[in-house]
């Protein structure tokens, strides 16, 4: 055989082998479908804008949900995203109307087979209250994740985009299911009952004192350490199904030389419950105790919490709760005690039962 014929034969053989190999190779597995996450925007600094990228003054709730999504195209690799604008307000203006609308929409969405999780963008000022409210009234184990930002979207080193990306990653993560409503901010995953805002301006403003973090998340990579503290979501007996309005509950901060004037004023304004942000372990002056006890006798439910940022308010430590007819907030700070008390009052005025709620939730 000539050299040329040998070369042609070898080539034909090689092509045949390559084709054979191609035919027998297993087809590449199809990529897993992305989860479907709905983004509900409510406003806040994450949607805020300033006239320049280095100024402190800005306005919350200026950017719409579509702009918010467009600003983080990387999140589309984590999930199929659909946005809805629920409100566009600074969360200092958060109110019952938005709460009920938001909670109802989350319940509708999470009941849909095709929805895998929900992300809510919110302001940082009251995110802990909204998260805790949702934790008590959302009826789903699917991930419901709130996020926020300390710097407006126009700021130098805005924190919103990465917080949003991380929130989507957590909502898209199957391991987030069944851990109650979560808040993802500055790489940390907080439980709704534990987190609290601790700095007016620092990026690392949210802490979960006493109970610690649910997990951490770095560039979408989440680690989970614990489950939620307290009954929540599908295990909560509170429901907004038939509720049109929530009862008024006021928070009054205790201080040196406190009298009973604000306690009486709260009841005169229509409060059905009062939360005292007490000094130390939920303490207050004798004058305030007497004024509060007089309201408790009339059927106003009075909860002792604390203005101190960490630690529990124990039952009957320095104040005899049985004698006065009070409820101790245990692990809940004043703002979350108010949320629980409002929902509790939709069910009962019985102080023993309400103390049991504070034990369990
Ligand atoms: N005032 C703003 C808000 O809660 C603050 C923030 O979002 O960081 O809407």
Q: For 244-282, how does the pLDDT look when each residue is reduced to its tens digit (9 = 90+)?
A: 999 999 999 999 999 999 999 999 999 999 999 999 999
How many angstroms separate the Cα of 305 from the Cα of each of 11, 105, 173, 253, 279?
A: 85, 31, 35, 10, 9
Closest-CA residue, ligand 1 atom 3, reads: 123
**CA–centroid distance, residue 172 to ligand 1 (Å):** 25
> Strands 249-253 and 273-278: what pairing?
parallel
- 273: Cβ–Cβ under 8 A, 6 or more apart, which residues? 247, 248, 249, 250, 300, 301, 302, 303, 338, 341, 342, 345
Cα angle 336, 340, 343; round to 5: 140
**CA–centroid distance, residue 7 to ligand 1 (Å):** 75
Q: Active site residue: 42, 45, 126, 130, which one? A: 45
pLDDT in tens, the chain (361 residues): 555 555 554 544 444 444 444 445 677 888 889 999 999 999 999 999 999 999 999 999 999 999 999 999 999 999 999 999 999 999 999 999 999 999 999 999 999 999 999 999 999 999 999 999 999 999 999 999 999 999 999 999 999 999 999 999 999 999 999 999 999 999 999 999 999 999 999 999 999 999 999 999 999 999 999 999 999 999 999 999 989 999 999 999 999 999 999 999 999 999 999 999 999 999 999 999 999 999 999 999 999 999 999 999 999 999 999 999 999 999 999 999 999 999 999 999 999 999 999 999 9
The pLDDT of residue 18 is 47
Cβ atoms of residues 274 and 266 within 8 Å: yes
Residue burial 178-214, b: 16+ Cβ < 10 Å; e: rest: bbbbbbbbbbbbbbbbbbbbeeeeeeebbbbeebebb
Residue 240, classed as helix, strand or coil, is coil
Residue with tokens 């467009």: 70
In this structure, the number of other CB atoms found within 10 A of the CB of residue 58 comes to 18
Closest-CA residue, ligand 1 atom 7, reads: 123
Residues 277-325 have pLDDT tens digits of 999 999 999 999 999 999 999 999 999 999 999 999 999 999 999 999 9
Residue 92 tokens read as 């200092």
**CA–centroid distance, residue 61 to ligand 1 (Å):** 9
Can 121 be counted among the known catalytic residues? no
Ligand 1 pocket, residues with Cβ under 6 angstroms: 44-45, 60, 90-92, 123-125, 148, 150
Alpha helices (H) along the chain: 3-24, 65-70, 96-110, 127-137, 160-171, 261-268, 286-297, 321-324, 334-344, 351-360
- 115: Cβ–Cβ under 8 A, 6 or more apart, which residues? 36, 37, 38, 109, 142
Cβ atoms of residues 215 and 189 within 8 Å: yes
Tell me, yes or no, if the pTM score tops 0.75.
Answer: yes
**CA–centroid distance, residue 326 to ligand 1 (Å):** 33
């Amino acid at each position: 055989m000539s050299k040329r014929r040998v070369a042609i034969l070898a080539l034909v053989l090689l092509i045949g082998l390559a084709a054979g190999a191609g035919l027998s190779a297993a087809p590449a597995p199809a990529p897993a479908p992305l989860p479907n996450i709905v983004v509900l925007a409510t406003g806040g600094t994450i949607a805020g804008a300033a006239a320049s990228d280095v100024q402190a003054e800005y306005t919350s709730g200026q950017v719409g949900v579509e702009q918010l999504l467009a600003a983080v195209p990387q999140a589309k690799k984590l999930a199929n995203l659909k946005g809805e604008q629920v409100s566009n307000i600074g969360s200092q203006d958060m109110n019952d109307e938005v709460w009920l609308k938001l909670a109802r929409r989350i319940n509708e969405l999470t009941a849909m087979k095709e929805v895998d999780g929900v992300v809510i963008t919110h302001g940082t000022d009251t995110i802990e209250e909204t998260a805790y409210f949702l934790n008590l009234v959302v009826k789903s184990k699917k991930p419901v994740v709130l996020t926020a930002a300390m710097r407006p979207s126009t700021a130098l080193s805005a924190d919103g985009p990465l917080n949003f990306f991380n929130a989507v990653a957590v909502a898209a993560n199957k391991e987030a299911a069944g851990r109650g409503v979560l808040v993802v901010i500055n790489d940390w995953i907080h439980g709704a009952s534990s987190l609290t805002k601790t700095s007016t301006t620092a990026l690392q403003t949210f802490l979960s004192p006493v109970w610690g973090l649910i997990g951490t998340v770095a560039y979408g990579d989440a680690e989970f350490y614990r489950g939620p503290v307290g009954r929540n979501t599908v295990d909560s007996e509170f429901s907004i199904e038939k509720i049109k309005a929530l009862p008024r509950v006021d928070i009054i901060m205790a201080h040196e030389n406190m009298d009973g004037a604000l306690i009486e004023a709260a009841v005169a304004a229509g409060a059905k419950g009062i939360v005292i942000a007490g000094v130390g372990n939920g303490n207050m002056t004798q004058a305030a105790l007497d004024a509060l006890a007089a309201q408790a006798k009339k059927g106003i439910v009075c909860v002792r919490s604390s203005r101190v940022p960490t630690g529990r308010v124990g039952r009957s430590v320095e104040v005899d709760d049985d004698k006065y007819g009070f409820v101790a907030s245990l692990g809940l700070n004043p703002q979350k005690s108010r949320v629980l008390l409002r929902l509790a009052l939709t069910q009962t005025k019985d102080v023993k039962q309400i103390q049991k709620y504070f034990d369990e939730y």
